[in-house]
Amino acid sequence: MVTGQKFMDLTINNEKQYYKLSILITQDGLSFCTQNTENNTLDIFFNKSFNNNLDPEKILVELQNAIKFNIDSSILTAISKVKVVYANNLYNIVPQKYFSEKKLTDYLKFNTKILHTDFIAFDELNNIKANSVYIPYTNINNYLFDQFGEFTYTHSSTLFVDLCLVNSSNKLNTEVVYLNIYTSTFDICIIKDNKLLLANSFEYFTPQDFIYYVLFCLEQLKLNNEELQMYLCGKINETDNLYHYLYTYVKNIEFLDTSFLVQQLKNLSEKNINPKQNLLLLSNLI
């Protein structure tokens, strides 16, 4: 069994290798950007939300068209590194002491419909002794391998949990809640004293759905809404209904500090790219 965060190997004979390509694939949208590795600037940024959640076959068509019509051939042939993030709810985080590569199916079978054609991968989380077990989209992996050769892929839960743990490292004796919000899904990560209490993803259709799932998680862990600290990222701002619902129930809310992205990717403001709304896509380049 091959792990996640892996390389699919193919040698590319290309004299001009100046760009990284980061791709974020969700069920309700996709985005990608290219980074010029010589000056750490972004050249191409693409983002599209789907009207409905799509299956992997339709997502592949969207990705093929997006790359075909939005990446110039001069950049396409100069891409030397491709990194893909899969954001779906087909995952589980398993503590290292209970983990076995021989039991990957067992970790997903109770909350995920597994097809006989599905490939199950896993990523090691950097900051805790655990693995994220998940199902990547094999058809998309095959397309990217044919298009670019060697590339790596990981699950969004791996990136998100690691980022949350780093951000929480100096926040002891406080329950810290992180929300990463997409068009119709969101991720929640809850940490206390550098320990992961919960990591999960939910689909929502209305702001009422959204706040119900958030409050349900807080209630299950018996957290005090007046005392916990909440950080937001993704598709949310202070004028959104989602934000208004959160602020009704949670006292301490901030947007996640993404200054590290602004420092390392030089032209985000020039490109009018909001790092808080594209945290995982951009972090995937670092």
Amino acid at 168: S
Cα distance between residue 59 and residue 32, in whole Å = 13
For the chain, list the strands marked E by DSSP.
6-8, 19-26, 29-36, 41-49, 79-87, 91-95, 121-124, 130-134, 151-155, 175-181, 185-192, 195-203, 229-234, 252-255
Report all structural domains of the chain as residue ranges with CATH numbers, in order of start: 6-156 (3.30.420.250), 162-255 (3.30.420.260)
Residue 80 pLDDT exceeds 70? yes
Flag whether the pTM goes above 0.85.
Answer: yes
Pairing status of strand 6-8 against strand 151-155? antiparallel
Separation of first and last alpha carbons in the chain: 27
Amino acid at 206: T
User: What average pLDDT does this structure show over 31-35?
Assistant: 98
Across the chain, mean pLDDT equals 93
Q: What is the pLDDT of residues 188-211, one digit of tens each?
A: 999 999 999 999 999 999 999 999
Q: Which pair of tokens denotes residue 46?
A: 């693409």
More confident residue, 18 or 3: 18
DSSP 189: E
* Chain centroid to CA 60: 18
State the pLDDT confidence band at 244, using cuts at 50, 70 and 90.
very high
More confident residue, 117 or 240: 240
169, with CB counted inside 10 A (0-12, 13-18, 19+), is exposed
Cα distance between residue 126 and residue 145, in whole Å = 26
The pLDDT of residue 5 is: 54
Number of H helices, E strands in the chain: 9, 14
State the pLDDT confidence band at 12, using cuts at 50, 70 and 90.
very low
Pairing status of strand 19-26 against strand 29-36? antiparallel
DSSP assignment string, 97-114: GG--GGGHHHHHTTTS--
Left (φ > 0), alpha (ψ -120 to 50) or beta: where does 57 sit?
Answer: alpha
